[in-house]
Every structure is written in structure tokens, then in C-alpha cells.
């Protein structure tokens, strides 16, 4: 692990929420549930996740986006360890956490602009999109300065800073995208082809460290935006790898944020969006 990112720094100050729960039974009241995914964007740090002393996730690798999971409301004791160091060692992160009711969120473990580990919760907008359209959201979670995001060489989002996001409805289709330093043509990430299918909501994470020259993109996609929202398999681009949910998340999920997920899910449509 990079010496600049000691495990002790991984515990974020302030309000924080993680979420976990068993997959909902077919007849469960979905109003009592939340859909939560986790994105791991801290380079060089593979972790194990424990809840109430039980291992939920092992060898969770950087660049990974989990499948969305339906979570039961409740409070849990979550401990996150460097892989192989738990459960008797000193956790990198330990929190009493609450699972909120309703909504769809992704929690990102990532670096701040100056390279410190941080946990940020984002709300996933799974509302309906127009005919022939797709939703594109970009989240800056990299140790890097402000950036512009271009599609076909033209800026779509400008002056995006960590840990902000921006979103727009765009024409469905394949988009050639790259990330450049704000106000310049200096490419920081990409280019990469993004397949934006009609009726989907697509999230792109710019993650990694500019100083360590490991900046990359990861993607997450939700379908069914023309009807009842339905979260689907989250894919990866660049260094991102999506685990098989039946192996990596057998009936459990975990998530964390520097703002409470409850507040994000119930009070904000786009957490962290530029005003």
C-alpha cells in the first residue's frame, strides 16, 4: 500500500453511514428497503469488511463496483480491515451504522483531491428519462485537480472538483469520452467509449491518483428508467472489475459515506452536485 495512505487515515470524520442487509424476500415491503452499491476507489488498498463480527466481503479490490443490494433497515457495527488483518487486528474503519428506508445510493471509498482516503455517499438518479435519451452522471473521486469531461472532444461537464458530481440527459448511443484538466486540452483519463443505452442511468467515476499516474474510469449502469426503476449489474471500465454478486455478496452488502445515507436518500436528488 502507498505509504501516503496509512490505514489510520481511512476513518473519515463527521457523520458517516454504512449499509448492509439480507436480500429482500419476494413478498417483502420494498418501501422498507434501500438499494445500495459500493465503489472502491482507493488505489493499493484491498480490504475485508465485517459486520457484527461476521465477514461480509473479503479481498475487496480497488476499481470494483458491487451489484446493488436490497437492504433491511437497522443499525450495525461495521469494521473494515486491510485484507487478512481482521477480525482481531486494528480496523482501518469502524462505525456504528444505520440502514435507511427507500432510495438508491452508491457509496464511494476514494481519495480526496489531496490524496487522503474518504467515504462519500451519492444518490443514484433512477427517475424516468426522455424517449431516445440516457442519463449520464460523472463523479470526480480522484486525487486530482478540477477537470472537464468531454464527449466527442466537446466539453459536457466543466470545472468538476472532488468529490462533486454533475449529470445530464444525453442522446442514447456510443460516446467517446475523455477527462481533461479544467480549461485545457491536457488529457488526464481516456479516451474511452461509453455505451449509453436508451432508458438507462449511467455513472462514470474518475478515480485514482494523478501523482501516482494511476487515474482510471469505472462505470455503473441502471436500467428501466422508462418505467419502474430497476438496478442492474454494475460494470467496469479501465481498471474497474465487477464481482459476481453470488460470490462476493452472498446475501449481504456494505456501504459508507461522509454524509448519512439517510439524508442523502430522503432529502437530496443529487448529493454533491455542483450548485
The helix (H) or strand (E) run that includes residue 69 is strand 69-72
pLDDT at 73: 58
Is residue 26 scored above 80 in pLDDT? Answer: no
User: How far is the C-alpha of 83 from the C-alpha of 85, rounded, in Å?
Assistant: 6
2 in a domain, yes or no? no
pLDDT in tens, 118-135: 878 888 999 999 999 999
Range from 23-32, 53-62, 148-157, 262-271 carrying the lowest mean pLDDT: 262-271
Number of domains present in the structure of the chain: 1
Looking at mean pLDDT, say which of 28-32, 37-41, 89-93, 206-210 comes out highest: 206-210
pLDDT at 53: 79
273 in a domain, yes or no? no
Q: Beta strand 104-111 with 33-41: parallel, antiparallel or unpaired? A: parallel
pTM here?
Answer: 0.70
Domain span including residue 261: 7-267
Torsion angles phi and psi, residue 125, rounded to 5? -80, 105
Mean pLDDT to the nearest integer, 165-172: 96
Mean pLDDT to the nearest integer, 75-95: 77
Amino acid at each position: 500500500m502507498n505509504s501516503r495512505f496509512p490505514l489510520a487515515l481511512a476513518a473519515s470524520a463527521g457523520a458517516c453511514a454504512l449499509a448492509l442487509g439480507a436480500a429482500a424476500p419476494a413478498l417483502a415491503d420494498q418501501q422498507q428497503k434501500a438499494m445500495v452499491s459500493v465503489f472502491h476507489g482507493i488505489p493499493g488498498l484491498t480490504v475485508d469488511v465485517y459486520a457484527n463480527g461476521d465477514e461480509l466481503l473479503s479481498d475487496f479490490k480497488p476499481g470494483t463496483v458491487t451489484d446493488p443490494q436490497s437492504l433491511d433497515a437497522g443499525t450495525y457495527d461495521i469494521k473494515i480491515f486491510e485484507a487478512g488483518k481482521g477480525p482481531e487486528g486494528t480496523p482501518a474503519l469502524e462505525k456504528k451504522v444505520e440502514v435507511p428506508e427507500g432510495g438508491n445510493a452508491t457509496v464511494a471509498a476514494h481519495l480526496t483531491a489531496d490524496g487522503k482516503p474518504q467515504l462519500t455517499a451519492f444518490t443514484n438518479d433512477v427517475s424516468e428519462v426522455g424517449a431516445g435519451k440516457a442519463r449520464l452522471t460523472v463523479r470526480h473521486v480522484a486525487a486530482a485537480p478540477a477537470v472537464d469531461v468531454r464527449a466527442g472532444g466537446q466539453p459536457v461537464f466543466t470545472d468538476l472538483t472532488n468529490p462533486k458530481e454533475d449529470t445530464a440527459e444525453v442522446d442514447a448511443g456510443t460516446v467517446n469520452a475523455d477527462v481533461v484538466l479544467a480549461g485545457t486540452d491536457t488529457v488526464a483519463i481516456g479516451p474511452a467509449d461509453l455505451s449509453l443505452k436508451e432508458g438507462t442511468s449511467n455513472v462514470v467515476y474518475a478515480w485514482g491518483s494523478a501523482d501516482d499516474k494511476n487515474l482510471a474510469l469505472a462505470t455503473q449502469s441502471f436500467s428501466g428508467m422508462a418505467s419502474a426503476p430497476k438496478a442492474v449489474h454494475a460494470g467496469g471500465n479501465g481498471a474497474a472489475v465487477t464481482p459476481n454478486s453470488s460470490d462476493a455478496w452472498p446475501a449481504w452488502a456494505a456501504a459508507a459515506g461522509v454524509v448519512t445515507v439517510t439524508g442523502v436518500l430522503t432529502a437530496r436528488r443529487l448529493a454533491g452536485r455542483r450548485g
